[in-house]
Structure 1
Amino acid sequence: MQLKFEFSQTIGIIGGTGLDDPDILEGRTEKYVDTPYGKPSDALILGKIKNVDCVLLARHGRHHTIMPSNVNYRANIWALKEENCSHVLVTTACGSLREEIQPGDLVIIDQFIDRTTKRHCTLYDGQHSTLSGVCHIPMAEPFCTKTREVLIETAKKLGLQCHSKGTMITIEGPRFSSRAESCVFRSWGADVINMTTVPEVILAKEAGMSYASIAMATDYDCWKEHEEAVSVDKVLKTLKGNANKATSILLSAIPQIGSMEWTSTLHTLKTTVQCSVILPKQ
């Protein structure tokens, strides 16, 4: 089995907690699919944003029934790949590890630190039903620079408080960090913290897709003295009041992406994948 590299400039959208509203799409239809890795988190919602073909997928399922460790990240990415998505734009809630990143702020992250332990982090796992070979994908620049620039410029035009870079540390969850952990992560240079960026960004890179993330800070985790520690109620309250920010970026950025030339970028991503796979000896 081989990966398809027949891109139609369809935009895949993976919505995180409270950020997966299908109403952003026009002419919606649902499509249930299966993959060599099992079923995705939910049905694919196919539709358009200003005449740009889009595929929306709720990362945790539409009723938020899947905890971070149990998200079938490989199936999600494979399903979007099979729909010929050239781009994957994702939203994610996160905690802030920096004073200057305030709850409600957006961060267009550019780096990650992986603290997960239980997840499948490659499409090339040596199983007969999936791809052959071993993939040593470069990860110096995990997120697509060109797509990130579109998101950053869009946020500026919309007048949103948006940080143009940031390092996301992804923990296993589903628990939040201890205060000691939160302080250690700050000392490592992490700016924000969540439970889902890894392995999603890695798998998208292996699939040769342009991947970028809009992270929304909902709290200060638990490192900040005299500040209420993170809780589910606090996260959901902030998301409810600010989810329209991420939505507005998607609604403005996707038509822009659809009008741009991506041949060179996508060719580079494809070539990187092909040069990273060591095939078994015959």
Structure 2
Amino acid sequence: MDGRFGIIGGSGLYDIPGLSDASWTTVESPWGVPSDAILTGTLDGVPLAFLPRHGRGHVHAPTTVPDRANIDAMKRLGVTHLVSISACGSFREDMAPGDFVVVDQFIDRTFAREKSFFGTGCVAHVSLADPVCPDLSAACVTAGRGAGITMHDGGTYLAMEGPQFSTRAESLMYRAWGCDVIGMTNMPEAKLAREAELHYASVAMITDYDSWHPDHGAVDVADVIRTLQGNGTKARDLVVALARSLPRRCTAGCATALTHAVMTSPDQRDPALTAKLDAVAGRVLIPKDPT
């Protein structure tokens, strides 16, 4: 694999077994201040970067996570393969607390977040028909199963705004829609990762049955935290196993998502916005020196 392996996740991943030369690196981004410094090091010979999505001490609510700064900072560190690890609720009996789901589709119900690096002065439209990297996702499934984790290959993630959990009526509606899991953090993260031409995969760690399940009642935060702590150990095992089996190539074209996406003609592009896009979209916006 060329490039760096990146993880965006929670506090359970701060201590990754076998991570050598570990240090916290502060990365400046024109899109604001990232959630935290980034833990860098080498895992089984693979350069790794870990960013706590909510910051150490959990200081960011889902709505205030600086997703653009986070994705930009990871790209600036040379991350090419990015795995999101996050907690979620389940809408399916067979997807039980403690199981992991490798998400392959999203429904975005968030409404208070900046969802694109592009805008007035430089317009771009990327495809999200298949919003994750199939090769990296497959590697996550294989690595997790190899580590003894119950892994579900594929699932639709309903991204809600939060920070409150669902009403029972909402939970039943999302279940009727055919959603498999629900969380508050994967959007717009997945959209921004596609705009940044990253190989992106999402691993959702189930903590509860949301509020639809007649035998489990409403979400109990204490139960969620207990399950989350157990999932943290599994997540570390997954990361270690995944570092040994990252895909060497991608068949889906994730790294060329912007090739035909930028619509604004070069002479009409906003220089200030173009400058901010140097890491995310420099491949298509910054002319190469012919020499």
Q: Confirm or deny a common fold (TM above 0.5).
A: yes
Deviation at 1:265, TM superposition (A): 4.3
SS in 1 for 2:244: helix
What number of residue pairs does the alignment pair up?
266
Between 245-254 and 68-77, report the one with greater CA deviation. 245-254
Matches within 5 A, 1:107-122: 107-122=101-116
1:20 aligns with 2:46: no
Question: C-alpha separation between the residues in 2 aligned to 1:209 and 1:144?
Answer: 9
Per-residue CA distance 1:225-261 (angstroms, 9 max, x = gap): 121321321211101122111211110111211xx42
Per-residue CA distance 1:23-59 (angstroms, 9 max, x = gap): 4432111111221111100001111111100111000
Deviation at 1:159, TM superposition (A): 2.7
Residue 188 of structure 2 is matched in structure 1 by 199
Residue 215 of structure 2 is matched in structure 1 by 226
1:138 aligns with 2:132: no
Question: C-alpha separation between the residues in 1 aligned to 2:236 and 2:88?
Answer: 16
Residue 162 of structure 1 is matched in structure 2 by 151
Of 270, 276, 279, the match for 2:255: 270
1:245 aligns with 2:234: yes
Q: 1:41 to 1:277 in 2, by over 3 A?
A: same
Residue 181 of structure 1 is matched in structure 2 by 170
Between 230-239 and 101-110, report the one with greater CA deviation. 230-239
Q: Any unmatched runs of 5+ in structure 1? A: 1-6, 127-131
Between 95-104 and 232-241, report the one with greater CA deviation. 232-241
Please tell me the residue identity of whatever aligns with 1:19.
G
Question: C-alpha separation between the residues in 2 aligned to 1:98 and 1:42?
Answer: 34
1:123 aligns with 2:126: no
Q: 1:157 to 1:22 in 2, by over 3 A?
A: closer
Contact residue 199 and residue 255 of structure 2 kept, 8 A = no
SS in 2 for 1:180: helix
Residue 65 of structure 1 is matched in structure 2 by 59
Let me know the Cα RMSD of the aligned residues: 1.6
Please tell me the residue identity of whatever aligns with 2:136.
T
The TM-score, its normalising length taken from structure 1, stands at 0.90
Deviation at 1:183, TM superposition (A): 0.4
Contact residue 13 and residue 232 of structure 2 kept, 8 A = no
1:106 aligns with 2:93: no
The TM-score, its normalising length taken from structure 2, stands at 0.87
Question: C-alpha separation between the residues in 2 aligned to 1:256 and 1:270?
Answer: 19
Question: C-alpha separation between the residues in 1 aligned to 2:15 and 2:149?
Answer: 22
Matches within 5 A, 1:30-41: 30-41=24-35
1:261 aligns with 2:221: no
Q: Any unmatched runs of 5+ in structure 2? A: 268-291
1:217 aligns with 2:206: yes
Per-residue CA distance 1:55-101 (angstroms, 9 max, x = gap): 11000001101000000000000000001111101110000011111
Contact residue 31 and residue 45 of structure 1 kept, 8 A = yes
Please tell me the residue identity of whatever aligns with 1:21.
Y
Residue 225 of structure 2 is matched in structure 1 by 236
Contact residue 8 and residue 85 of structure 1 kept, 8 A = no
SS in 2 for 1:134: coil
SS in 2 for 1:201: helix
